[in-house]
Structure 1
Amino acid sequence: MILVLVLAVLAVSYASSARAYLQQRAHLDDLRTEIAERQADIDVLEREQRRWEDPAYVEQVARERFGYVMPGERSFVVLDEDGEPLEAEATLTDPADVAPEEPTAWWDEAWASVETAGRPPKDEGTPPATEIDGSPEQAPSGQEDSDQ
């Protein structure tokens, strides 16, 4: 019985030690991942710093962001269909890529207006014409509603 009790105590102590070991390993893995991410961020920042040391890159950024031009050059602003300047990120499409609109014949538009004129929209907001003094008017007994 004592042997079983000693083995149970050892199993519990080893289980808690194993749990602590596994938690520490998971924490170390998380820290290693974080270190790798930070190192990648540092590499990106160092690359960016080297780019800013290049005068050609600084000139390019000044042209793009601020619209600077060198002495003797002319600057042009491209406007969209509303007269607003396009953003620097906007791209113009190639006119060859745009599908041309097929023109419609003038007689098609004229005939469409004739068909529309033949079917005017019904006005739902006006009261019926048969109402007088708030009470509906009765048609004479010999006439139908279509004669009104």
Structure 2
Amino acid sequence: MLVLVLGLLAVSYASSMRAFLDQRARIGDLKSAIAERQADIDRLEREKRRWQDPEFVQGQARKRFGYLEPGETGYQVIDVDGEPLEPSSELSDPDQVVPEPTPTAWWETAWASVELAGDPPRERTPAARLDAPAEDLGGDPAGGGR
């Protein structure tokens, strides 16, 4: 009887201990979520204070919208298609740019082909026999063919 009572107490204590540990884990999760939210609130308050500074607002207007002060000259870099480059784009070094070959006129190409037809270049004579394996030619390795 005593063993039965002790077993019953152990089971009820274990279930209570499990609920206690689950609640402690849940409290830890909620505390970390609260700390994250507080960090977000602090970050947003710092940004709000930055936007109250006229110098910061002026800098953002220049950066985002390209605003200029009276008397300033603005420049915009465009690509080969005439579209403005993004601020994150990188310009290439002019010394490393390979110039495009100068196109030849069609009549120069046509005349070159006429000259070539009159005096074709000398090519090597073709081989009298190919030394390819019989398997590559689709034939029988013994030379029987199909």
Runs of 4+ in 1 over 4 A off after TM superposition: 98-104
TM-score, normalised to structure 1, is 0.61
Gapped regions of structure 2 (runs ≥ 5): 102-108, 114-119, 121-146
Displacement, 1:92? 2.6
Give CA deviations for 1:69-128 in whole Å, capped at 9, x if unaligned. Answer: 11111222211222111123x2333627x7454999xxxxx9xx99xxx9xxxxxxxxxx
Q: Which has the higher contact order (CA 8 A, sep 6+)?
A: 1
Deviation per residue, 1:20-61 (Å, 9 max, x gap): 011101101100110110111011101101111111110011
Compared CA separation, residues 31 and 56, structure 1 to 2 (3 A) = same
Q: CA RMSD in A?
A: 2.7
Q: Name the residue aligned to 1:93.
A: 91
User: How many residue pairs were aligned?
Assistant: 105
Query: What is the percent sequence identity of the aligned residues?
Result: 55
In structure 1, stretches of 5+ residues that fail to align are: 105-109, 119-148
Q: Which amino acid aligns with 2:21?
A: L
